Structure 1
Amino acid sequence: MPGITLKLSGVSNPSLSRRLADELTTLTCSLLDKKPGQTMVMIQYVAHDEWFIDRRSLTEWGKNSFRLEVTITDETNTRLQKAAYHRAAFELLSSVIGNVHPHSNVHLIDCGAAAYGYGGLTQEYRYQHDGGPEARTAGA
């Protein structure tokens, strides 16, 4: 059940937001083996004059930037999956946004199953009551 938060430099753009919500959901579900129906995406825009890297605004840099944070349940993905996701997400966002500052970044945040969940239930509770990993691979 990934929670995806994307911060983009610039002004609100509903068309771009919809495109990126779709593409990030597809990428996240594909590379991290998650379910689209349990994937949440929030996109926020920050003005170039209010985004700073090394004490200079993006306006001064003449660049765009993004910060992608994806929360996932700890121990549900391998290091190789996470590395592949980092590369692919950076490439996707860089190509769509263009002219990105090299310090634009991707963060995968591993959350403990007992502290992370949705609908009032933790992921640990779901794991314990849905039959563990066998139930998940069977479509539970």
Structure 2
Amino acid sequence: MPLITVTVSSPHPQMPAKAAIAAEVSRLSSSILHKDPNVTAIIVSTVPPEDWFCGGRSLAEAQRASVWLDIHITDGTNTKDEKAAFIAETYAAFGRLLGPLHEESYVHVHDVRDDAYGFGGLTQGRRYIARQLAVPASAAA
């Protein structure tokens, strides 16, 4: 049930549709981090390349694209290797989607405590407890 925010910018003329960006992000979070796409929320926004600066130069001037992807996941649900693979694959995928990326493109994975994160009015910790209580003790063993 991650919440993912994606901000992109590219001086290249073929900017992909926001739906295509969201679909790729959903694919990556599902295939690498094992997140259920049915409870994944993705917000995509764009910034004009003249308004995004890296190292004092705009992306328009540098002729590079960039991405900032922020994903919140429940702490302990993914390994360091899974998160590293997600970051590497996301960087590569956005290079394909947006054109050559500026090195100052970021993927930030937030590990959030289960009692401080949730959706639909319930924390992830409460959801876990409810699932455990719904399983008969003999089946849980």
TM over 0.5: yes
1:121 and 2:112 are equivalent in the alignment: no
Q: Which amino acid aligns with 2:4?
A: I
Deviation of residue 60 (structure 1)? Answer: 2.1
Runs of 4+ off more than 6 Å = none
1:91 match = 92
> Contact 2:10–2:64 (CA<8 Å) still a contact in 1?
no
> TM-score, structure 1 length as denominator?
0.87
1:8 and 2:8 are equivalent in the alignment: yes
1:30 and 2:31 are equivalent in the alignment: yes
1:68 match = 69
- Structure number with larger C-alpha Rg: 2
Q: Structure 1: give runs of 5+ residues left out of the alignment.
A: 135-140
Q: Structure 2: give runs of 5+ residues left out of the alignment.
A: 136-141
Cα distance between partner residues in 1 of 2:61 and 2:21? 26
Count of matched residue pairs: 132
> TM-score, structure 2 length as denominator?
0.86
Q: Provide the alpha-carbon RMSD of the alignment.
A: 2.0
Paired residues for 1:42-57 under 5 Å: 42-57=43-58
What percentage of aligned pairs have identical amino acids? Answer: 36
